[in-house]
């Protein structure tokens, strides 16, 4: 069951390359809100695409709040690439945050949804997974 929303943001894919193992690496920068605070988040995903348009995503990222607080996170999910080139990814996020307001994220799993269009515009939301 999903609990309270813990973050939301919008951003852009800023880099993409094909890795020697055939996976796709993408990097995203996002501006948003988490637990009532403005944040900037960056993550790099390694995507394994299947012929049927589905695939898996593994990512590492970090965020910075306006006051300088930083946290990091790991993402694991599945995605579907649509015929128009857009993509939807859903999965789980686990955080590592310092003491303070964001430490709440250390004790929960977060269910996320990321939507990206064919132009690399990204929308991202995450909810506490109860």
What contacts 25, CB < 8 A, 6 or more positions away? 15, 16, 17, 18, 19, 44, 45, 46, 47
Buried b (16+ CB within 10 A) or exposed e, 79-93: bebeeeeebebebeb
Domain encompassing residue 70: 2-129
Number of domains within the chain: 1
pTM greater than 0.85: yes
Read off the pLDDT of residues 35-91 as tens digits, 9 standing for 90 and up. Answer: 999 999 999 999 999 999 999 999 999 999 999 999 999 999 999 999 998 999 999
Read off the pLDDT of each residue in 100-118 and give the average, rounded to a whole number: 96
The CATH number given to whatever domain includes residue 68 is: 2.40.160.20
Helix (H, G, I), strand (E, B) or coil at 108: coil
**Residues belonging to the chain:** 130
| pLDDT above 90 (res 130) | no
């Amino acid at each position: 069951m999903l609990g309270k929303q813990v973050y939301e943001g919008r951003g852009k894919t800023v880099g993409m390359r094909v890795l020697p193992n055939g996976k796709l690496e993408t990097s995203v920068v996002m501006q948003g809100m988490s637990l009532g605070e403005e944040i900037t988040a960056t993550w790099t995903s390694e995507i394994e695409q299947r012929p049927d348009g589905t695939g898996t995503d593994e990512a590492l990222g970090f965020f910075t709040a306006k006051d300088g607080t930083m946290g990091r996170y790991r993402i694991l999910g599945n995605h579907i690439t649509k015929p128009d080139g857009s993509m939807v990814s859903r999965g789980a996020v686990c955080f590592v945050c310092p003491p303070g307001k964001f430490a709440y994220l250390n004790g929960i799993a977060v269910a996320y949804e990321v939507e990206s269009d064919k132009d690399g515009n990204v929308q991202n939301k995450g909810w506490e997974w109860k």
